[in-house]
């Protein structure tokens, strides 16, 4: 089974159907060292012989986007490989061959041009079709939307460059051309994308600002959740910077800035810090973790859970370099109504208690 086949098989299983922040798994990273006796050969031909299923067009796109480095420097497709050259390549995975059914589902589109499109996704919407989720996803809605546009080409397919979890709301960026996807792939792979999230967590971290560093990987006994492995024995390197925006004693509103994009990174890191996300069932935040567990307070928390029936996480902002114009782009979004309503209730509770 090829690396790409393994990727799709894994991500179409139930436990991977709604993964959050898995952009590194959306890209292929190859590192090749030329042999000592390597004859001069165009790099596109060289890589086609070294990378399984790599088309010449895909390699040429990677070169055009600056995604092929030789000894640390970007090269064009006509570069001739020399002995002992160290070659690094970042390419986006090819689109799925599975047909995506167009469906008329409302989307909040915050920006669109011929190269990219940004959506403010509502909580509860799966990003892409997968196991038991072949309809009702963001991609189903996007395919319908794009096919309705004047002059739309048959088979138009939006291309993912990152994802957010089903029950996480917020901004998500989609490429509309393979060239845009390839250029954005380098930004996400190199962690130069600026991303901030806001979350409601149980309790208040000891420090108003801090950095959580620890490998994130599948729990060794339960693949439905991620664990933090600070010794690096499992998982992948992950870094989350956080700061407390407002403390309500029992819960806090925090901002998280990601350096890396691991599956469930914020959720796993905040649990590791001792402050799980509010109402995050998978990571234990759907129980009362601060305050007493009876009486009016219990009723209050349960009411908050009903207002905010998901993990309290929102992808608030996204900054990147436009793949065609090279201009800096930045998009911000308001907290969704469910998180705002929950925060208002906590604010009133603290104010009433003096």
- Each residue of 211-228: pLDDT tens digit? 999 999 999 999 889 999
Token readout for 180 is: 């845009």
| The pLDDT value given to residue 167 | 96
| The pLDDT value given to residue 25 | 53
User: What value does the mean pLDDT take over residues 239-246?
Assistant: 97
Task: Answer whether residue 81 shows pLDDT above 90.
Answer: yes
What does the angle CA 174 – CA 177 – CA 180 come to, to the nearest 5 degrees? 70
| The pLDDT value given to residue 1 | 29
| The pLDDT value given to residue 197 | 98
Alpha carbon distance 59, 49 (integer Å): 11
Segments of the chain assigned to CATH 3.10.290.10:
3-92
Task: Answer whether residue 287 shows pLDDT above 60.
Answer: yes
Assess if CATH 2.60.120.260 describes domain 3-92. Answer: no
Residues with active-site annotation: 165
| The pLDDT value given to residue 4 | 32
Residues in contact with 219: Cβ distance below 8 Å, sequence separation at least 6, in sequence order: 225, 226, 227
The pLDDT mean for the chain works out to 87
Q: For residue 62, is it left (φ>0), alpha (ψ between -120 and 50) or beta?
A: alpha
Residue 273, Cα to own-chain centre: how many angstroms?
21
Residues in contact with 213: Cβ distance below 8 Å, sequence separation at least 6, in sequence order: 230, 238, 239
CB of 183 closer than 8 Å to CB of 299: no
CATH class, domain 194-318+329-352, is alpha beta
pLDDT confidence of 61, banded at 50, 70, 90?
A: confident
pLDDT confidence of 24, banded at 50, 70, 90?
A: very low
CB of 307 closer than 8 Å to CB of 251: no
Task: Answer whether residue 176 shows pLDDT above 90.
Answer: yes
φ, ψ (nearest 5 deg) of residue 147: -75, -20
pLDDT confidence of 95, banded at 50, 70, 90?
A: low
Alpha carbon distance 318, 170 (integer Å): 10
Q: Which CATH number is correct for 109-190, 3.30.2350.10, 3.40.640.10, 3.40.50.300, 3.20.20.70?
A: 3.30.2350.10
- Helix, coil or strand: residue 197: strand
User: What value does the mean pLDDT take over residues 285-297?
Assistant: 94
| The pLDDT value given to residue 340 | 98
User: What value does the mean pLDDT take over residues 317-340?
Assistant: 97
The distance in angstroms from the start CA to the end CA of the chain is 63
Write out pLDDT tens, residues 184-208.
988 888 888 999 999 999 999 999 9
Alpha carbon distance 352, 251 (integer Å): 16
pLDDT confidence of 142, banded at 50, 70, 90?
A: very high
Segments of the chain assigned to CATH 3.30.2350.10:
109-190, 194-318+329-352
- Helix, coil or strand: residue 237: coil
CB of 317 closer than 8 Å to CB of 195: yes
Token readout for 73 is: 């420097």
pLDDT above 90: percentage of residues in the chain: 64
Alpha carbon distance 174, 100 (integer Å): 15
Task: Answer whether residue 268 shows pLDDT above 60.
Answer: yes
Task: Answer whether residue 2 shows pLDDT above 60.
Answer: no
Higher pLDDT, 125 or 90: 125
pLDDT confidence of 178, banded at 50, 70, 90?
A: confident
| The pLDDT value given to residue 231 | 94
Alpha carbon distance 315, 94 (integer Å): 26
The DSSP H or E segment spanning 200 is strand 194-202
User: What value does the mean pLDDT take over residues 120-133?
Assistant: 86
């Amino acid at each position: 089974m090829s690396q790409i086949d393994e990727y799709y098989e894994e991500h179409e299983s139930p436990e991977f159907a709604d993964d959050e922040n898995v952009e590194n798994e959306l890209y292929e990273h190859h590192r090749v060292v030329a042999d000592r006796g390597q004859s001069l050969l165009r790099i596109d031909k060289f890589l086609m012989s070294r990378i399984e299923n790599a088309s010449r067009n895909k390699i040429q796109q990677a070169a055009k986007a600056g995604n092929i480095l030789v000894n640390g420097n970007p090269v064009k497709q006509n570069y001739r490989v020399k002995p002992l050259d160290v070659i690094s390549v970042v390419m986006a995975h090819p689109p799925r061959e599975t047909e995506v059914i167009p469906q008329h589902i409302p989307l909040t589109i915050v920006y669109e041009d011929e190269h990219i499109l940004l959506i403010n996704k509502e909580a509860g919407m799966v990003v892409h079709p997968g196991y038991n989720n072949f309809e009702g996803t963001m991609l189903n809605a996007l395919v319908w939307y794009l096919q309705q546009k004047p002059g739309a080409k048959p088979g138009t397919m939006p291309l993912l460059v990152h994802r957010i979890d089903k029950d996480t709301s917020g901004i998500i960026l989609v490429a509309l051309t393979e060239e845009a996807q390839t250029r954005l792939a380098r930004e996400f792979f190199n962690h130069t994308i600026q991303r901030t999230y806001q979350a409601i967590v149980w309790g208040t971290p000891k420090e108003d600002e801090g950095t959580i560093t620890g490998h994130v990987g599948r729990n060794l006994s339960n693949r439905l959740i991620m664990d933090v492995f600070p010794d690096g024995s499992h998982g992948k390197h992950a870094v989350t910077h956080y700061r407390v925006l407002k403390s309500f004693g029992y819960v806090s509103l925090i901002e998280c800035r990601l350096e890396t994009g691991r599956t469930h990174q914020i959720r796993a890191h905040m649990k590791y810090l001792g402050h799980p996300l509010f109402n995050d069932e998978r990571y234990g935040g759907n129980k009362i973790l601060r305050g007493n567990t009876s009486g009016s307070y219990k009723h209050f928390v349960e009411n908050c859970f009903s207002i905010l029936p998901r993990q309290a996480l929102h992808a608030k902002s996204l900054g990147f370099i436009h793949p065609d114009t090279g201009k800096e782009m930045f998009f911000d979004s308001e907290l969704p109504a469910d998180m705002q309503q929950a925060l208002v209730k906590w604010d009133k509770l603290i104010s009433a208690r003096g």
